[in-house]
Chains A and B, each alone.
Chain A
């Protein structure tokens, strides 16, 4: 039972354009959502997060949007840079859950020159 889904295994965009990564979840108890970035042979690193009481959170070039009614969130990267090429994982947690994260399967982003 995949509670957090990333249906696009890969995405390719040109440098300077917008990258949009999508994530869907099924468990309505999730109330905190995070995006992690992972380079090969490294651990995931935290990128940006959003609480369920908000619908948008920005941090520089990165913006996360949350649509609770659709159980959908997306990560926008503008402008995309070659150094953004990595695997992006969506993750979710719920209050009282010991901060345990449930991860999606990841989307490989490739930013081309």
Chain B
């Protein structure tokens, strides 16, 4: 099992450029999440999804967009990149409450994507 796979691992963007961070999971998890981690800070939730076609904002959604067309994939789109979006981005997934699995509260994280905006 690959778990949660994120691409790219590293990327440098110029101010104003756009890009998409890819995330895919092969665990049949209904729930997926995007977090960002800034130096010395905890992880902050950007967006999450409880199933295909359903997305919702987290704590820090400004400047980002997401889509969830399949159970497996949850891409994060950055429009008009700004230096404040320099961060490490983590995608995660978990079972949903309706999947009848114990330990549904546990999120499995990808290895992260380090983004620098110059």
A contact patch SS: loop
B104, B105, B109: the one contacting A45 at CB < 8 Å is B109
Interface string of B19-47 (1 = CB under 8 A from A): 00000000000010101000011111100
Query: Is A93's beta carbon under 8 Å from chain B?
Result: yes
Contacts of A89 in B (CB 8 A): 42-43
A44, A46, A105: the one contacting B90 at CB < 8 Å is A44
**A106 adjacent to B42 (CB under 8 Å):** yes
Complex Cα distance, B111 from A41, in Å, reads 7
**A99 adjacent to B104 (CB under 8 Å):** yes
CB within 8 Å of A: which of B84-118? 90, 92, 94, 96-97, 103-112
**Which residue on chain B has the smallest CB distance to residue A31?**
B105
Chain B interfacial residues counted at CB < 8 A = 29
Query: Is B58's beta carbon under 8 Å from chain A?
Result: yes
**A104 adjacent to B106 (CB under 8 Å):** no
B38 to chain A, nearest CB (A): 10
Contacts of B35 in A (CB 8 A): 103
B43, B56, B97, B104: the one contacting A44 at CB < 8 Å is B43
Query: Is B48's beta carbon under 8 Å from chain A?
Result: yes
A40 to chain B, nearest CB (A): 10
Complex Cα distance, B49 from A16, in Å, reads 42
Query: Is A34's beta carbon under 8 Å from chain B?
Result: yes
B50, B96, B107: the one contacting A101 at CB < 8 Å is B107
CB within 8 Å of A: which of B42-84? 42-45, 48, 50, 56, 58
Contacts of A36 in B (CB 8 A): 109
Query: Interface of B with A (CB < 8 Å)?
Result: 4, 31, 33, 35, 40-45, 48, 50, 56, 58, 90, 92, 94, 96-97, 103-112
Query: Interface of A with B (CB < 8 Å)?
Result: 4, 6, 9, 32, 34, 36, 41-46, 49, 89, 93, 98-106
Known: A43-B110, A89-B42, A102-B45. 9 other contacts (CB 8 A): A36-B109, A43-B92, A89-B43, A99-B31, A99-B94, A99-B97, A101-B43, A103-B35, A106-B42
